[in-house]
Amino acid sequence: MLQGEGKTILWWGRLGNYGPDYPRNRTVIACLESIGFEVVAFQPKMSALSDMQARFTDFKDIRAVWIPCFRQRDVAGAARWCRRNNVPLVFDPLISAYDKRVNERQKYSAESWRGRRLLAWEQNLFAMADHVIADTQCHKAYFSECLRYPLKQISVIPVSAEEGLFFPQELPVNPIPEALFFGTFIGLQGAQFIAQSLRHYTGPAFQLTFLGQGPDRAMCEEICLQHKNDRVAVAFEDWIPFQDLPKRICQADLCLGVFGAGEKSARVIPNKVYQGLACGKTVLTMSGEAYPLEVFESSAGIAWVEPGSPEAIALAISDLFSPEKLAETRSQILPYQTYTQYFSNESIRQTLSALFGSAAKET
């Protein structure tokens, strides 16, 4: 547990990279507040000089500083302020900058001087934190092995879902089942493999809907035109307001997760998986070590395929929408149970309470 007496968590970082409106950040803030902490935002004008600005700000009752997702550039300034004020620094990166640029985007190789410099830079940043948050056990291992951060100082907090929005809803049954992909159409998600699955699909008729925008959407539209399948009605929908997304998920019969090949894909559990399960929807996604072993072995509410395989996606959808399986696929019970048992906001609150101790406010 990080020692301290204050009841305030200082949320340190410039806006950008989604800021407090990113679902991960909103969920963590809500969970911190629900266990008695006040979360105060500090948005310095310049990350590099943030500790200088903080010297002239009257912060009181601070238990810890929290650096949110993607804000590696804010760590150094926050660390300097924390050392001067004897306040612990907690960093929730969500992803590694090195992992993203070298492994996912392959912007430069690990052996290049840029790759080595980036790795050293991020290792130094991680070393400045008193505690690090990972979203999966795989990322915990990666932060320890690649970024050389002590395992004992890493807690795992799942991305989870905003439970005030994402929950099971009873809606009219679709005349034919619908499989819904929603996302940003980046390579990590592997939407192109879903589109390519049309070429291999021979199962019951169903509706395939792609929802969202992103760099791979045009490619997916072209693939679907090339591989038209009389058994599959394909539709592309643009983004809808976030508050409308839960109902759209609940209208579908099956949520499609991520299918991209590569080490980074295997380390993540994306927002859409948590949100689909929280809505009581069966999720079809790639198998990966990011999931707790109990979830992977039970497959309760989740169907698994090998990454990067259109054939496996086609076969899995055919099975899930078969007359023998369709009622089970449509049942909300198992997906929601898996969410509540392993990924709920309550599990986040328990981890935060173990990390910071009690901050229950007097009434």
Q: Where are the alpha helices (DSSP H) in the chain?
A: 23-34, 50-55, 75-85, 97-98, 113-128, 137-145, 191-196, 217-226, 245-251, 263-267, 271-278, 293-298, 310-320, 326-330, 333-342, 345-356
> Which tens digits make up the pLDDT trace of 196-236?
999 999 999 999 999 999 999 999 999 999 999 999 999 99
Model confidence pTM above 0.85? yes
**Residue 337, Cβ neighbours under 10 Å: how many?**
15
- pLDDT reported for residue 342: 93
Mean pLDDT of 1-19: 79
The CATH H-level (homologous superfamily) assignment of domain 178-342 is: Glycogen Phosphorylase B; (3.40.50.2000)
- pLDDT reported for residue 185: 95
* Domain boundaries along the sequence of the chain: 8-160+345-356, 178-342
Tokens of 68: 């949110």
Measure the N-to-C terminal CA separation of the chain; round to a whole number of Å: 25
Burial (CB count <10 Å: 0-12, 13-18, 19+), residue 90: buried
Beta carbons of 208 and 229 less than 8 angstroms apart: no
Tell me how far CA of residue 291 lies from CA of 144, 266, 298, 339, in angstroms.
Answer: 18, 9, 11, 12
> Whole-angstrom Cα distance, residue 59 to residue 176?
57
> Which tens digits make up the pLDDT trace of 241-284?
999 999 999 999 999 999 988 777 788 899 999 999 999 999 99
> Which tens digits make up the pLDDT trace of 303-348?
999 999 999 999 999 999 999 999 999 999 999 999 999 999 999 9
Domains 8-160+345-356 and 178-342 share a fold: yes
How does residue 362 score in pLDDT terms, banded at 50, 70 and 90?
Answer: very low
Beta carbons of 257 and 266 less than 8 angstroms apart: no
Considering the four listed CATH numbers 3.40.50.880, 3.40.50.2000, 3.40.50.300, 1.10.260.40, the one that applies to the domain covering 8-160+345-356 is: 3.40.50.2000
- pLDDT reported for residue 294: 82
